[in-house]
Amino acid sequence: MRIAFGNASYHPGDTRGRNAHIHQFITQAVAQGHEIWVWPARQAHSAVRLPTAGRLDRLAALRRMDAVYIRLQNDPVDIQRYGAFP
């Protein structure tokens, strides 16, 4: 399954709970054979980064995803704007 992780912001060495959740989710999902895709500027080992070439390339990649996973936290999530009609 191809899963876009909408707000994965993994920081190596950070011991906060959200960082542990992001790391464990990606690690376990990849171990089960899933592809986890993250935003181009995000750090996340074992994850595939969305294209950096342009918005249309990212939109095309997101349309090929089976699911979009968004972890609810304090920051607003940008990925939902790709679900709206242009």
Question: In the prediction, which pLDDT does 29 show?
Answer: 92
The rounded percent of the chain whose pLDDT value lies above 70 is 79
Q: Is the pLDDT at 84 greater than 70, yes or no?
A: no
Confidence band for 74, pLDDT divided at 50, 70 and 90: low
* pLDDT tens digit sequence for 16-34: 777 788 888 888 999 999 9
Q: In terms of residue numbers, what domain contains 64? A: 2-83
Res 81 pLDDT > 90: no
CA gap 30, 73 in Å, rounded: 23
SS3 for 1-59 is CEEEECCCCCCCCCCCHHHHHHHHHHHHHHHCCCEEEECCCCCCCCCEECCCCCHHHHH
What is the number of structural domains in the chain?
1
Query: Sign (positive/negative) of CA torsion 43, 7, 62, 56?
Result: negative
The C-alpha atoms of residue 42 and residue 36 are separated, in whole angstroms, by 12
